A = this chain, B = another copy of it.
Amino acid sequence: MQSFSQVQQVFQNYLDENQFEAAPSELYHPVNYILSLGGKRLRPIMLLMAYNLFREDIEKALPAAYAVEIFHNFSLLHDDIMDQAPLRRGKPTVHIKYNTNAGILSGDVMLIYAYKYLMKVENQKRIIDLINLFNKAAVEVCEGQQYDMNFEKQTEVSIVEYLKMISLKTAVLLAGALKMGAVIADATAKDSRLIYDFGKNVGIAFQLQDDILDTFGDPQKFGKRVGGDIIQNKKTYLVLRALELADESTKTKLKRLLSEHSENENLKVEEVTKIFDQLNIQTEAEQVKEEYLQKAFDSLDAVSVADKNKTVLRGLADRLMKREV
């Protein structure tokens, strides 16, 4: 059983050894650039940890882990173009550093390379399962991104729709990555499904936590400006739940606040937060998040390997929720 930092190091070494060196450089430099921006490498690390529940030789799962990381960065690259985001992890986004065409085409080639790395998995008798699993998650990520874009224009979004969107956009790739680790390790269908459920529910809990921290987090620890979602009028879980609970006049006020771009951003954040507080939204959201987290751990508990094997994965999920990773 390898520790978080051991798995992280093994993956980083693989990534360093598998830079994109081919020609033309105009196509592959942006790929190396976005992959070099770092991030937690959460999906590949969790894939390797899922494999490590069953087997020790985690290097056997490295190509699939890299495939997932390449796919994730492809989706960030294209999302940044669609969102016209100037920065990614504090550095210029690809379409800013290079140009939009480079961003589109380099993203495309990354998506194909994700499949190329999947094909390098040694456990060939599971390749078809792996690709089917990957295809499903990849399509869902696109659908999630489309729903997210739709919601910006939609006046009414239900909580059910919101949970479906974050599930597709974020949770299914984490879930798929974890299941891929289990599949490569030849885990049973039941264990593979349990690990998928663990990942999906952790993913949803993580996203809900993100919504909570954006408004109620400690700015020093969170690393972002508190209230960013409110300033951008984002339809987060907090907003959607508040709209469900509020009386008509509060609802009208909240809708008005979240439909304009205020010149006094601090006042706007303050007013919206006050409404959240009146409706006890933070506590509600924490509860829902805890329910997803509980479901996640129940699934992990049910996986048929010794409890001590699960310590690393459980510990990572815990630290992730506390934003200690």
**A residues within 8 Å of B by Cβ?**
22-24, 26-27, 78, 81-82, 101, 104-105, 107-109, 111-113, 115-116, 119, 124, 127-128, 131-132, 135, 138-139, 142-143, 145-147, 149-150
Q: How far is the CA of A48 from the CA of B32 in the complex (A)?
A: 38
Chain B, Cβ-Cβ closest to A117: B135
By a CB distance below 8 angstroms, the chain B residues around A116 are: 135, 139
Contact of A82 among B24, B78, B104, B113 (CB under 8 A): B104
Contact of A119 among B26, B128, B143, B147 (CB under 8 A): B128
Check if A135 sits within 8 Å of B119, measured CB to CB: yes
- Extra pairs beyond A82-B104, A115-B115 (19, CB < 8 Å): A22-B143, A24-B146, A26-B146, A27-B142, A27-B143, A78-B104, A81-B104, A82-B105, A105-B149, A107-B108, A108-B108, A109-B139, A109-B142, A111-B111, A111-B112, A112-B135, A116-B135, A119-B135, A124-B128
Number of identical protomers = 2
Closest 7 CB pairs of A and B: A27-B146, A109-B142, A82-B101, A112-B138, A24-B146, A116-B135, A112-B139
Q: How far is the CA of A124 from the CA of B131 in the complex (A)?
A: 13
Check if B105 sits within 8 Å of A108, measured CB to CB: no
By a CB distance below 8 angstroms, the chain B residues around A128 are: 119, 124, 127
Interface of A, helix, strand, loop or mixed by DSSP: helix
Contact of A131 among B108, B119, B138, B149 (CB under 8 A): B119
Q: How far is the CA of A105 from the CA of B75 in the complex (A)?
A: 9
Q: How far is the CA of A111 from the CA of B134 in the complex (A)?
A: 13
Task: For the complex formed, measure the closest distance between the CB of A3 and the CB atoms of chain B, giving whole angstroms.
Answer: 34
Chain B, Cβ-Cβ closest to A146: B27
Q: How far is the CA of A143 from the CA of B132 in the complex (A)?
A: 26
By a CB distance below 8 angstroms, the chain B residues around A112 are: 111, 135, 138-139, 142
By a CB distance below 8 angstroms, the chain B residues around A23 are: 143
Q: How far is the CA of A131 from the CA of B24 in the complex (A)?
A: 23
Chain B, Cβ-Cβ closest to A24: B146
By a CB distance below 8 angstroms, the chain B residues around A113 are: 139
Chain B, Cβ-Cβ closest to A124: B128
Q: How far is the CA of A128 from the CA of B139 in the complex (A)?
A: 21
Q: List 22 A-B contacts (CB under 8 A).
A: A22-B143, A23-B143, A24-B146, A24-B150, A26-B149, A27-B142, A81-B104, A82-B101, A101-B149, A105-B142, A105-B145, A107-B108, A108-B111, A108-B142, A109-B142, A111-B112, A112-B135, A112-B138, A112-B139, A115-B115, A115-B135, A127-B127
Task: For the complex formed, measure the closest distance between the CB of A33 and the CB atoms of chain B, giving whole angstroms.
Answer: 15
